Amino acid sequence: MKKAMLHTKVSVKLRKSELRDEWYLYLEAYPVFKPGHDKPCREREYLNRIITTPMWDKIRPARIDKDGVQTYKPKRDMNGIIICRSKTDRETCIFADNVRNLRQHEYDSAELYTDTDQEMVEKKAKGQVNFIDYFAKVTETRHKKSSKSIIVNWNRVQELMKIYTEGKPLPFSKIDLRLIDSFKTFLLTVPQGGGKSGIISQNTASTYFSIFKAAVHQAFIDGYLDVDLAAKVKGVPEEESRREYLTIDELNLLAATPCNYPMLKKAAFFSALTGLRHCDIRKMTWQELSKEGDHYRINFTQKKTGGVEYMPISEQAYLICGEPQEPDRLVFEGLQDPSYINRPVKVWVEAAGIKKHITFHMAKHKLIHK
């Protein structure tokens, strides 16, 4: 059953200029029903048009102006168009009536819909939205302050979706459990990027699919999907990876080997001695390092947890940092971004004659395996 609504009427009205003998043309629609309003509203739309020669209907009084002068409503022809003496003004009023007619048609059409009809129209429109474009917007809004490595992963998943669809759009109406499962299978056969041979590891595929599922879940929250499909699909299981560690002898060998980036070398050994992550080391300032007698400690806020930490460190770790500088300066100024740092680490490790695959992230585990 159609919803009963009062008929909205759109009219062309005039408003007198306070400074000159001219009148502004505008449209007024009433009654208009808006969400959150209990009573009908008036909608006004100014047309950026002015007339100076309207003719007044002396038998249709309007209001009395601020000077106490009686005003009258404008004369209109049989089609309701305001009558003017000037040809230019008459053409302006015809233009205004054409816009009025267009707005009237919009209101008349809107009144044909029930709330359910409107929801179906909106649902159909959302179904045509390209999920890949939506994914890009989620990446931008959700990860404005995320690390570069996280953003790189999200961008990579977007690239892989374009490969999967062969460059074609992926409308939300096409997203179902079968497609999601198909994309998961696709990720397990994706070749490595950056000119590397072979396919990506299962753990990388797991990361990429988790990102994809996160975007699908967000689409459900935003109303693009009726069902939380991400909750119905299992992720790609991770394989237990074998970590490489350095022995004390290898650490000493590495310490004796020159590094093209001295700050990286200092940060790596500081990480090995303290167990701190790259993200915490990179943002550490001199005011967070303190010496009290023969004791040394770090007072800092963990980037990952947001908690305040008071961690004692060895004198050796403190001395690695070098001569104290201004409180707000970074201790390890110029330390590379996490997405790049493993490249110079690899060169340095190979120069030391160490055959193991070591990354900066492993530094905090090194001294555990003496």
Please provide the DSSP assignment of 227-269 as one string.
Answer: S-GGGGS--PPPPPPPPP---HHHHHHHHTS--S-HHHHHHHH
pLDDT band at 283 (very low <50, low <70, confident <90, very high): confident
pLDDT band at 278 (very low <50, low <70, confident <90, very high): confident
Which segments within the chain are labelled E, that is strand?
9-16, 23-32, 41-51, 56-64, 70-74, 289-292, 295-301, 308-313
| Mean per-residue pLDDT of the chain | 85
Q: What is the CA radius of gyration of the chain?
A: 35
Residue 73 pLDDT more than 50? yes
pLDDT at 65: 82
Domains present along the chain, CATH in parentheses: 9-112 (no CATH), 131-232 (1.10.150), 248-368 (1.10.443.10)
Residue 14 pLDDT more than 60? yes
pLDDT digits (tens, 9 = 90+) for 120-159: 667 777 888 999 999 999 999 888 777 777 888 999 999 9
Rounded Cα distance between 280 and 311, Å, is: 13
pLDDT-above-90 percentage for the chain? 44
pLDDT digits (tens, 9 = 90+) for 226-237: 999 999 999 998
pLDDT band at 118 (very low <50, low <70, confident <90, very high): low
pLDDT band at 2 (very low <50, low <70, confident <90, very high): very low
Q: Which of 331, 277, 285, 342 is nearest to 303 (CA)?
A: 277
Mean pLDDT, range 103-122, rounded to an integer: 71
Mean pLDDT, range 322-333, rounded to an integer: 91
pLDDT band at 302 (very low <50, low <70, confident <90, very high): low
CB atoms within 10 A of CB 93: 24
Rounded Cα distance between 89 and 9, Å, is: 24
pLDDT band at 303 (very low <50, low <70, confident <90, very high): low
Q: Which of 358, 337, 343 is nearest to 146 (CA)?
A: 337
Q: Which of 267, 250, 164 is nearest to 212 (CA)?
A: 164
pLDDT band at 365 (very low <50, low <70, confident <90, very high): very low
CB atoms within 10 A of CB 50: 14
Residue 301 pLDDT more than 70? no
Mean pLDDT, range 231-249, rounded to an integer: 79
Residue 166 pLDDT more than 90? yes
